[in-house]
Structure 1
Amino acid sequence: MNPLQLPFDTEDMLAGLRPWIECESPTHDAAAVNRMMDIAAFDLATLGAKVERLPGRMGFGGSVRARLPHPDQGRVPGILIAGHMDTVHPIGTLEVLPFRREGNLCYGPGLMDMKGGNYISLEAIRQLMRAGLETPLPVTVLFTPDEEVGTPSTRDLIEAEAARHAYVLVPEPGHDDGGVTIGRYAIARFNLRTVGAPSHAGARLSDGKSAIAAMARRIIEIEDMTGPDCTFSVGVIHAGQWVNCVSSSCDAEALSMAKKQEDLDEGVARMLALQSERDGVTFEVTRGVTRPVWKPDTPGTAKIFEIAKSIASELGFEMTGRSQGGGSDGNFTGAMGIPTLDSLGVRGAGLHTLNEHIQVDSLVERARLMAGLLMRLQ
């Protein structure tokens, strides 16, 4: 049977996805992420996979690794499907962004990024098995808990697992035109801290040194460093407890992105050079997690992309491939030189917002694309 003609059913997939979406799993809530991993582990077990629950560390949830039945499993390098189950949406988001379908759109927290793509990957495997089709290479699925914060606790796991495989498929959200990602920009995160001096904001305002005011000035300075080769932004800030107190400390997080590794390295040096003391307030900068450049011109990735283009043509659309910003765990595997194809997940819009949704008709399209890749990679 042609894997591109497998009987995928949209309504069945939506029904299967619903419990995944209604199990909210924000990155920093390890227990919530583990509940989501429980659901995924159960679904993988129904496929006959050998499922392992790997404990979390650094305060994050655990991971799920599942090896699908195959006569060559463990004997030859196979295909790794790598996805994350954490989302940016806090517990309670379902109250304002419930799982619901409106025509060709379906809404829900984490549905596009990236539970939808993870689910259609399992559905592709399920339909292949039901049809009695055996993939040329063994397949392993790895779901991790911390991609949305840069993968600090599982990068080593992802890289070690990827090194055992011939190919890596990443079902992050697909592009609007159905295209895929064949390279990604470099990304660095930074932890920022200003330390001043406290005082009573009403009676002794001039005695204090406001860490908040100092951080505000630093944020402008940092974002003004953005240029065509390297961008800088501050997306998180925490400070203060009492409005009548001059805050003596303020913490923030910054992100820098560049198309070339050398540009990111220069940007990192510029950020670290900002550490200093001004007007009695100390400014500290520490480097956080970094995603390396994944260059789009690697031969192995080009090979997978050509196969994907051929499958897309049979499905009725022209596939494009491009390098892009917005990091993923594909940065790591692609930078290792392992043939990697990213953005194989569902199409939609509004990821990371309260309008996150997918195009329902992309469920079958992307499941068939994944099934085709699993059958043609060898």
Structure 2
Amino acid sequence: MTPDTAALDLPFDSDRMLDGLRTWIETESPTFDAAAVNRMMGVAARDLALAGASVETIPGRMNLGDCVRAKFDHPSKEKGILVLGHMDTVHPMGTINGQLHFRREGNKAFGPGIQDMKGGNYIALEAVKQLRAAGIQTSRPVTFLFTSDEEIGSPATRDLIEAEAARHAVVLVPEPARPDGGVVTGRYAIARFNMRSTGRPSHAGARLAEGRSAIKEMCRQILAIEDMTTEACTFSVGVLQGGTWVNCVTTHCDAEALSMAKRQEDLDAAVEKMLALRATGNDVSFEVKRGVTRPVWEPNEGVMQLHGKAQALAERLGFNVPSQSAGGGSDGNFTGAMGIPTLDGLGVRGALAHTLEEHIFVDSLAERGKLFAGLLQVV
């Protein structure tokens, strides 16, 4: 075995890996349940420690969960490799006991967060474990950073991510593989918005005409916002909350919108449009506040060199990892936009993330694990 292919011959076993991953999947960790996220971080911290890492827990902020940073010993003192992943999911507590319970059906395994992105995090750790067991040195020092709020745009961890990435030469992000098995070398820009409409309350049965419904105003705004979607930039509203009593004309209604664009200038224009929105009538008010923004990440020479190494390794393993820019932001947006060579989408193959049919293809655990191990040896 030559040094650059030694990792490709390690004994990864998808069935055994799935058995280990099951504990991670059954430890539910929805973003807004800090205690649940912290339980998951505790499981990951223990596994990292057992693998030989020096582990520290970084307290959460904004009522969100903690983060875990783990460093593996290395003889070199040069800038290292940062493995960047998140442990929060979009699935609420109890999902594991319902339709999305952990199960295997042929080559598919189902469970909350199994594709996005606990499966990818797990194969990254397995890659390090396999290398260390075989006595194969990684090309650089390796640090893992598992964060707690990526699914809501990383409002509490962006500064931590950027500070940690600045201390590293390369960032590897085991977010899910693309549908064709490819990896991500750039991501679109994303902006979030918090909106509130305010009406005038009244009794919906006795004095309906005296009221002005905040829900009605918000619905008008939602239709207008989503109609602004073009090929250059999309607009969508994914959260809507208003009202307490059906017999009361609603005073306040809150919603959250998201805009995504391939180019930063298109997103900047979208932000201007959203912030310029006004109420549709004099008897109601409407306010838009800018939320978390992910900058556009465009591939540079360093990113494409990383991809070239990944493609060469994949070919030796018998598959391809075509490169592409992708929507659906990740924390790779931040590190890529900083100019740090970043390769994203290195995680498992699967489908239907963020739904009750979220699953992975079991054979991709070993396949992508070998790829990740190879990258840790050559980047």
Name the TM-score, length of structure 1 as normaliser.
0.98
In the alignment, which residue of structure 2 is the partner of 1:9? Answer: 13
Q: Structure 1: which amino acid aligns with 2:67?
A: S
Give the CA RMSD over aligned residues: 0.8
Q: Which 4+ residue blocks in structure 1 deviate beyond 2 angstroms?
A: none
1:168 aligns with 2:175: no
Matches of 1:230 and 1:18, distance apart in 2: 38
Matches of 2:145 and 2:365, distance apart in 1: 20
Q: Is the 8 A contact 2:217 2:280 kept in 1?
A: no
Equivalent residue runs for 1:1-378 within 5 Å: 2-72=6-76, 75-96=77-98, 97-276=100-279, 278-296=281-299, 298-377=300-379
Which shows bigger deviation, 37-46 or 272-281? 272-281
Q: Structure 2: which amino acid aligns with 1:167?
A: V
Q: Is the 8 A contact 2:107 2:363 kept in 1?
A: yes
CA shift, 1:59, in A, is 0.8
Q: Structure 2: which amino acid aligns with 1:352?
A: H
SS of the residue 1:238 aligns to: strand
Which shows bigger deviation, 142-151 or 268-277? 268-277
Q: Is the 8 A contact 2:71 2:143 kept in 1?
A: yes
Matches of 1:100 and 1:116, distance apart in 2: 14
Matches of 1:189 and 1:349, distance apart in 2: 25
Matches of 2:215 and 2:179, distance apart in 1: 40
Q: Structure 2: which amino acid aligns with 1:199?
A: S
Which shows bigger deviation, 272-281 or 356-365? 272-281
Provide Cα deviations, 1:133-188, integer angstroms capped at 9, x if missing partner: 11120000000000000000000000000000000000000012211000000000
CA shift, 1:244, in A, is 0.3
SS of the residue 1:255 aligns to: strand
Q: Structure 1: which amino acid aligns with 2:68?
A: V
CA shift, 1:275, in A, is 3.3
SS of the residue 2:16 aligns to: helix
Matches of 1:362 and 1:195, distance apart in 2: 50
Matches of 1:264 and 1:177, distance apart in 2: 27
Matches of 1:275 and 1:318, distance apart in 2: 49
Matches of 2:284 and 2:48, distance apart in 1: 53
CA shift, 1:4, in A, is 0.4
Q: Structure 1: which amino acid aligns with 2:323?
A: G
Q: Structure 1: which amino acid aligns with 2:283?
A: G
Percent identity over the alignment? 65
Q: Structure 2: which amino acid aligns with 1:58?
A: M
Q: Structure 2: which amino acid aligns with 1:94?
A: I
Name the TM-score, length of structure 2 as normaliser.
0.98
